Chains A and B, each alone.
Chain A
Amino acid sequence: MKSYCILFALILSSLGHSVIAQEYNIVIKGGHVIDAKNNIDSVMDVAIKDGKIAEVAKNIDAKKAVQMVDAKGLYVTPGLIDIHGHVFAGTEPRHAYSNGFNALPPDGFTFRVGVTTIVDCGGSGWKSFPTFKENIVDRSETRVLAFLNIVGEGMRGGTYEQDTHDMDSKLSANVARQYPQDIVGFKVAHYNGPEWTPVDRAVEAGNMADLPVIIDFGGSNPPLSIEELYMKHLRPGDIYTHAFGQLDSREAIVDLKTKKVKPFVLEAQKRGIIFDVGYGGISFAYSQAIPALKDGFYPNTISTDLHTGSMNNAMKDMLNVMSKFMLMGMDLTEVIAASTWHPAKAIKRENLGNLSVGAPADVILLEVMEGNFGFFDYTGYKMEGNKKLECELTIRDGKIVYDLNGIADPIVVR
């Protein structure tokens, strides 16, 4: 191993930029590639050069690469895209998910579980986005994007999120247009009351900036109609998160008596409404998800709703949530699609979530572990399964950023 390292260091130092002399920076050999966009589901090699996917083919010569990764027995997929995270970590007292203590810095919760892109889901609003960009987007190794909260103050908690005066479509759209590389849509969340104002303002901002909205439907007593939400207020391409939540203050997608998915929910999905998991602390219940999946209703996108309250609980991380959906009946390729290509399309970042030649080289290696595993939800209901996903290696923009067991040769992690 040592000789490899010395050799590698020598090559780097003597040739500098002429590493380009090597045809590829990385070749991943012998893994089972799953790439939903390109309909690949077979054993293939993947070559990376200058941060981009250079080639996906049956046999690529590893001698042409600076680093070789042995992926035999592993799955090779695009880097996971988690469209519902809370990563506006900060120390402002009483600021909840907006530069406060409930949010988490992304890098410690992403690469180790195969996530290369995370979308902060409404932590910042138009007023606080510049701080979010400076503190989080620009400092993270993870690709961090944002759904801008329709509330100008962002997800500060409590009464701030009830202030309809601070839900300004025009200013929100302005900021989204000012940061098109970072902002992918608008978030509505935590609003309590029978008004449609927050949803309608977000959609209005979405129309102005040509971006989707993502809805945490808050609460109301009696609950607002989700049918009305899907059919009258949202547009095709808009996202309904916490799809499998079951709370008294919110209408559920599965009828609690018949245990069937409400017919209009299926219609809404056909209409183009995107159903997102947004697992979180209390936003996923098996009592919704099991009957829904039995009915053939699968989420369009799998996401975590990562924050301090969900990280150590039933949710844990993206791979744990993906493993649950495998256990409930989705197959591996569907789970991967819902965690890569589908979220990429949902946030209109079709350069991500795929392994097309020329795409940013965000690539991961997954192992499907065999054993006895338990997957519980926040109510304590547990399903037993015999498969669980584990991340072996993560590549972001063509650089290895995580290597669990040292399967790269030489082992160099940036």
Chain B
Amino acid sequence: MKSYYLFVLIVLIFGNHLAAQEYNIVIKGGHVIDAKNNIDAVMDVAIKDGKIAKVAKTIETKQAVQVVDAQGFYVTPGIIDIHAHVFAGTVPDHYLANSFSALPADGFTFRVGVTTVVDCGDAGWKTFPTFKENIIDRSKTRVLSFLNIVGEGMRGGAYEQDTSDMDAKLSANAANRFKEYIVGFKVAHYEEASWIPVDRAVEAGELAGGIPVIVDFGGDDSHPPLSIEKLFFDHLRPGDIYTHVYTELDRRDPIVDTKSRQLKPFVKKARERGIIFDVGYGGASFDYGQAIPATKAGLYPTTISTDLHTGSMNSAMKDMPNLMSTFLTLGMQLPEVVKASTWAPAKAIKREELGNLSEGSPADVAVFNLRQGDFGFWDRKGKKLIGNQRFECEMTIRDGKIVYDLNGIADPIVVH
């Protein structure tokens, strides 16, 4: 470990001439899974100036400032969680909008391999500037946003029922102004049997140049649920996202018929049409009663996401690796699980520079250990599946810097 001091010495002596080293980091001997580039093999990965510099069978490590020993591990693009709630704050009675139910991103991302989170509707056009100032600009995690179609964002209660605050034009204006951060629009928690929130969000999506909407389909026990078939075929566009796909709640039309336990036939057609099915696991939004029959019928999620908030973090959900492991246990193949957590979400939010290891892409990389053993994966109703594999994050790299190293597999060990 004297090498650390050597490293410091090198930095002191050469300063900016570190560029004299060919690479900043070389990750050696890991099994690379990169869905965009169809890589599923043991490869080395080199990083330089925050970008992926090379992926090849053998890369010389003498030319690297830091070498990561990834033998026996999986090397993937940094995980992209498109459904999280990170507008943490202390405004009373503001639910997920600058308040106590949301979480600060950095403590829930790098340690589990996530390099990009999309805040899912906490901010609306009125509150986005505060979200940007408090969260986006202060987080080391790459934080993006689905802007709530409600101007006040996810303030809870009656605020989210106010259709007069669902302004497609103003929402689209904000999205156009903050193109770098806003990737789409969110509909959530609307209770009445009305299509207004969905239609306004889709309208905003069109006005903002064809960006997607993500729909939490709300509902209320006082009336029959709106039809998801109508939602998928008459209201949403290809590329729009249906989150909480494995929910089973009385107030919502489920994808699996609760009597026959069969996947409704139109669901696969909706996927063929281009509707994106997102997990959005959350506190009460994932149920094995839906997920087991649906995945047996072949309906795996397009994108895996957490719906991270204070109510889900310590419960059945926990974190991305727990959900990825859950889907492994449900029979999804490992490369498909990784794809649904990297390249598929990158495409869903139209950020195709992310979620892959192409040369020149931002060097967001995760290293996973696939632990072997007896593990339990349970849902909110207490149903448990036993699995023998669990993803554990060994290392996370964001924009070419090591930001998490569980066991110190880098040499020298320097965490930013």
Contacts and interface: CB of A to CB of B under 8 A. Distances in A.
A249 interface: no
A374 B382 contact: no
Given A101-B138, A401-B314, A406-B376, A91 B107 contact: no
Given A1-B384, A89-B104, A411-B384, A406 B314 contact: no
B415 A105 contact: no
Contacts of A311: 106-107, 111
A108 B318 CA distance: 10
Contact of B107 (A109, A111, A379): A109
Contact of A312 (B103, B318, B375, B415): B415
Contact of B382 (A89, A373, A376, A410): A410
A99 interface: yes
Given A91-B89, A380-B414, A407-B376, A105 B381 contact: no
B106 A382 contact: no
Among A99, A373, A401, A405, max chain B CB count under 10 A is at A405
A209 B408 CA distance: 44
Contacts of B316: 413
B110 A312 contact: yes
Nearest to B413: A380
Contact of A105 (B7, B98, B100): B100
Contacts of B103: 105, 108
Contacts, number: 115
Contacts of A379: 1, 4
B378 interface: yes
A240 B88 CA distance: 33
- Interface of A, secondary structure class, is loop
Given A312-B415, A407-B376, A2 B381 contact: yes
B270 interface: no
B407 interface: yes
Nearest to A410: B382
A374 B378 contact: no
A405 B376 contact: yes
B4 A107 contact: no
Interface in B364-409: 374-378, 381-384, 403-409
B108 interface: yes
A353 B90 CA distance: 31
A372 B71 CA distance: 13
A376 B376 contact: no
A296 to B, nearest CB: 24
Contacts of A12: none
B313 interface: yes
B69 to A, nearest CB: 10
Given A2-B381, A90-B90, A406-B376, A108 B405 contact: no
Nearest to A317: B111
Contacts of A357: none
A179 interface: no
A412 B106 contact: no
B368 to A, nearest CB: 15
A380 B314 contact: no
Nearest to B108: A108
Contacts of A406: 376-378, 382, 384
Given A90-B90, A135-B90, A312-B111, A112 B314 contact: yes
A71 B409 CA distance: 32
A293 to B, nearest CB: 18
A108 B405 CA distance: 20
A108 B306 CA distance: 14
A373 B407 CA distance: 6
A382 B100 contact: no
Contacts of A4: 382
Nearest to B310: A107
Contacts of B106: 308, 311-312
A313 B405 CA distance: 7
A342 interface: no
Pick the most buried of B108, B384, B403, B415: most chain A CB atoms within 10 A of its CB.
B384
Interface in A1-35: 1-2, 4-5, 8
A381 interface: yes
Interface in A305-319: 308, 311-314, 316
Given A91-B88, A135-B90, A380-B4, 4 more contacts: A91-B134, A112-B314, A376-B405, A379-B1
Q: Which 5 residue pairs across A and B have the least CB separation, nearest first?
A: A380-B4, A405-B376, A374-B407, A406-B378, A406-B376
Interface of B: 1, 3-4, 7, 88-90, 98, 100, 103-104, 106-108, 110-111, 134, 138, 310, 313-316, 318, 374-378, 381-384, 403-409, 412-415
7 contacts: A5-B381, A104-B107, A108-B313, A374-B409, A376-B405, A379-B4, A413-B315
